[in-house]
Structure 1
């Protein structure tokens, strides 16, 4: 069977490394290829009118792939040349993934089984505006229910009023308090869940008509749950149970065993886990913990968690758990490892690095004929190159002095700022093991912030780009 023949369009500086990629990729995917190098150095600067003017398509080509950053309507090219044009990935090193995934349906991560209760901690100390803002932030990040956290030992007269305010704003609400006046007012105004219920308040909280979270009298006293559950069943009070997750150093492993025991001894009862006792009280990034906790909940059919974002290292915990609950459900439902499914929780380091290599970097440096600086982060070094030279090292200050000395009149203030900003990103990438690509944001998973590249800014301002990647 005849293999399809693809024309890859690129700029002069990317030809060498693109050919290296395609030499390996084409036999694996079973296509033939040709490369057309237009008379531009940087492939990212291509646009549809330029391609229409300069491109000549050889005979026998089935379709044409353009650089992913190419601007303009590709339908114009399709109509002009009479064959399909497609954008590839932004980086040609991603071509293997592009061809490997093409035609496969995306992973469905819309499904989840675990409800997120997001707590507004110490709500009595906040203004109404702050409470509404925090609740909306949690909802936008995946929370299904807003938990109003009260202050132990105090009685808040506005508990009912604030609950009503949240309900009128479209939120589902729970109340976290043992104070009878606070709880009764909250339930009267629309709170659907009460955290929590044990023998200390069982006599009155079971009569409010709202669902309650049953907890043991002491975390270690699991047997007390049986009596509390029996009384809630007799009172026909809806409930879920929480055996209490303990912090590391205070019975963490024993508390995990209690959840396993709870599922065995209460096979048909809903269970909740308060995960903040781990994420807030462990001095470590929380994304990995949230995945493990979500996996534990998914496997034990724990269908709700109470999450918090009080301490700074846990400030994205709600969104992390939202991604985690979808990831683990997909993995378990499909009997698939939670790997190569979704990279949104890989934030500190990147899943893999794509490097040109020493030979390609040297080859590239010898082809450059313009003053624009190209920056790379590879082999534990920064690499900076333009027509005046090729500099590499680990100290950005020394590199700056070196390439500035090669042409001291070339750098104005804005250009120097740009290079400093890019080298800062490159050093961060080297430090953390992340992929650096000039003029592109570093990948921080779901926390990635979009950037307008220096080239795009200059195009928007009607100026010629002065700095650019390969």
Structure 2
């Protein structure tokens, strides 16, 4: 197919490099690049873009192409260009450096790209929608052939895909901060961890809060058969059921409630004495025993151990057990994440991939604070990435879902100079320079993570004002509108601090005014 790529003076180098990469990766299209006499195309409307195109070439020249691709951020529908020229015109990627992935698509896929939406979103949406359709077909097969356990309305397959995420928090956390409830909502099953001596009425109240605010199946991590009986009408899944508890849970609820059995005796034996075969036989007999006692919905948790505290041995046990039992397996990812001083994104993704290979269908995470802030969402994204990769038969890379936060798959360098020759001024750091006080007043800035907003406390000639909002640009405009600053230096400082506050808000990190939000690895000292 003959393709014309339309770009600007500043982006032409990135576009040309992307075309070269695409050809090296096997792209078969014939590709030409047309550079418009503008620095940035994203500020143009499609009508303005059409006017520029027709100044440079005739309609007849454009009709020599099968497809024209314009930058993804151009404003408006490309149909106005298409109708005039008579050639399909679609939106490309937002960043020129990502074009090589696009140019590897087939003729039909390229022609079906959007006239309104950047190609990045179209391609991602197509991958995700295709995965959803396949998952729905799989679920139908699982249900019709009794190859899953139903937890509430959620199908937990005997073996993945798909994997299901259970997100829990501590009872005390819900009391302290209702925001934690909203952070659970993306999981398939939500719940709370309960201490042995917790008042049952308190547990009931908290479960009712979850029922009201999140319409998902509910789980509890509790060790009291009496408490389990008390809350059984509100709970679909009970976690951490030890073998000695099986006889004490009332017979009346054994058929309806799903239990996750934790065979601690076998786990310790396999790890400490390496008697894996004996442990597997015990686990198989324990499941048979649970069925004989009337339990119909059973999940098996083999307890993923902490790093350097039996982690590999516990993985080995999962490996040997997963083909020996006919119940779904569960794995608590927080057992690893909570015991490593490292960001959880990568750990969660790797653990999810490992769990997929081990045939683990139910993944548990505990949403608390600090290192586990946002872990429920991370687990859901990781599950989506791994499941999509499995369904497409590829590694979990470039599948439409990712967990890049601090890093990116490919750096995007944007040329701001082009062919021009500006005067270069090297500006030294001025960390030690004194900050002159603005006579209009001062600001204290903080991030309210739980309400997802930035707060600015103004103290000065115009009184005491608290400005709140989630958009730092809007906050800065309000500062200017109210005349709360009188020096360019103060305004620049506020812009810098608000940008830091926005980063902290997005990442769920702490924000301290005048302190860095992020320390890169090259700023740290290794042993």
Confirm or deny a common fold (TM above 0.5). yes
Q: Residues 222-270 of structure 1: CA distance to partner in whole angstroms, max 9, x if unpaired?
A: 6464564343121121322212122123222222222223224x42122
Deviation at 1:5, TM superposition (A): 5.4
Distance 1:77 1:419, change over 3 A: farther
Match runs of 1:43-58 below 5 Å: 43-56=41-54, 57-58=57-58
- 2:34 aligned counterpart, secondary structure: strand
Distance 1:78 1:182, change over 3 A: same
Deviation at 1:184, TM superposition (A): 1.4
Q: Identify the residue that residue 60 of structure 1 maps to in structure 2.
A: 61
Report if the CA contact (8 A) 2:307-2:336 is conserved. yes
Deviation at 1:118, TM superposition (A): 0.8
Tell me the distance in 2 between the aligned counterparts of 1:194 and 1:26: 55
Unaligned runs of 5+ in 2: 110-122, 136-160, 271-278, 432-486, 509-527
Q: Identify the residue that residue 358 of structure 2 maps to in structure 1.
A: 300
Q: Identify the residue that residue 317 of structure 2 maps to in structure 1.
A: 258
Deviation at 1:306, TM superposition (A): 1.6
Distance 1:45 1:416, change over 3 A: farther
Aligned match of 2:268 in 200, 210, 220? 220
Tell me the distance in 2 between the aligned counterparts of 1:183 and 1:286: 32
Unaligned runs of 5+ in 1: 369-386, 399-411, 426-440, 449-470
1:201 aligned to 2:202?
Answer: no
Tell me the distance in 1 between the aligned counterparts of 2:380 and 2:304: 19
Range with bigger deviation, 217-226 or 68-77 = 217-226
Tell me the distance in 2 between the aligned counterparts of 1:153 and 1:35: 72
* Length, aligned pairs only: 382
Aligned match of 2:407 in 322, 334, 349? 349
Q: Identify the residue that residue 36 of structure 2 maps to in structure 1.
A: 37
Tell me the distance in 1 between the aligned counterparts of 2:190 and 2:292: 29
Q: Identify the residue that residue 464 of structure 1 maps to in structure 2.
A: none
Match runs of 1:61-460 below 5 Å: 61=62, 62=65, 63-101=67-105, 103-104=108-109, 106-107=126-127, 108-110=130-132, 111=135, 112-121=161-170, 123-124=171-172, 126-127=174-175, 130=177, 133-139=179-185, 141=186, 143-169=187-213, 170-187=215-232, 189-205=233-249, 207=251, 208-209=253-254, 210-218=257-265, 219-221=267-269, 223=279, 225=283, 228-238=286-296, 239-264=298-323, 266-342=324-400, 344-355=402-413, 364=417, 366-367=419-420, 387=422, 389-391=423-425, 413=488, 417=492
Tell me the distance in 2 between the aligned counterparts of 1:302 and 1:259: 8
Distance 1:215 1:65, change over 3 A: closer
Distance 1:287 1:109, change over 3 A: farther
- 1:273 aligned counterpart, secondary structure: strand
Q: Identify the residue that residue 142 of structure 2 maps to in structure 1.
A: none
